[in-house]
Structures are given as structure tokens and as C-alpha cells.
Amino acid sequence: MSTALKNLSLYNFDEVPSGENSIFGIVVSEWNLEITNSLLEGAIETLKLKDVEEKDIYIQYVPGSFELPFGASSLLEKKRFNAVICLGCVVQGETRHFDFICDAVAHGIMQVSLKKEIPVIFGLLTTNTLEQAQDRSGGKHGNKGIEAAITALKMASL
């Protein structure tokens, strides 16, 4: 496994554009809240480190990951954002439900981004186990929330 010994969230701070004078939305799934709150903390911390003011970070919670695209779309109806970050976590279960949710969220986020012509960032963990999700939300493999915030900063600067 390529991630076995890596913190995937390491980055060169100087290569990430400043977010000064930018406005970011973050849509967060309430399902697996322990995981998604860790992702949220990583995203907020990263945005602040890159000069985004707290007042320019808007957070919207939705019940689950399936609702992330709608949450992003409704957030974009309310205000002009430079980018919106979607954060969620889907853990593989015993049924194909996992596949349907992950596919729908990925397509939905892309559709919102293209329709609204604003970057909407895919920050959805799709793991086999809860332990893998913990490893990627502040554990040994970093924090996908940090990676999503870096992507938002880069896309907002285009």
C-alpha cells in the first residue's frame, strides 16, 4: 500500500497561494462526526495559516455525505465564494450502499462545481474501516481536511 508509511498531508507552505481577501465555504457531513469534525479543524487551520480571516469561512452542516452536493449548491446560492470544500466520510459496510453513496457524491460535487463555475472540492474519505478514516483525519496519514483546504486555495487562485 502506497500510504502505509506516509503522512499524505505534508506540503510546502510557500507553494500554496495566500487566501487573503478570499471567502471559503465548508460543507460538513454530520455522519461520522468525530471524523468530519477533525477534517473540518484541519481545513480551517490551514485556511487561517494562509491568511483567510475567520469571518470569511462559512460552515454548513448536512446530515450525511450524500447531501454534500446539495449543501454546496445551496451555500453557493447565498454568497459568492472563491471555493467551497465538501468534507465527509463513508466507511465500507456489508452492502453496496457504500458504492452508491461514493459515486453519487463524486458526481454531485463535480456537477455543482461545473454548473456554478466555482471550485467545489472533494474532501470525502472513502475507507474500508473506521481506523483508516481516523488515520486520514489527523492520524498517521495526515488530515484530508488540510489537503482539501490546500486544493481550495490553489483552485481559488486560478
Q: Which residues are catalytic?
A: 97
Whose cell is 459515486? That residue is 103
Q: Which three cell numbers stand for residue 91?
A: 466507511
| Helix or strand run (H / E) with residue 58 | strand 57-62
Compute the distance between CA of residue 19 and CA of residue 147 in angstroms, rounded to an integer: 15
Helix (H) or strand (E) holding 59: strand 57-62
Residues 6+ apart with CB under 8 A from 153: 16, 17, 18, 19, 22, 46, 47, 50, 83
Contact present, 61 and 37 (Cβ < 8 Å): no
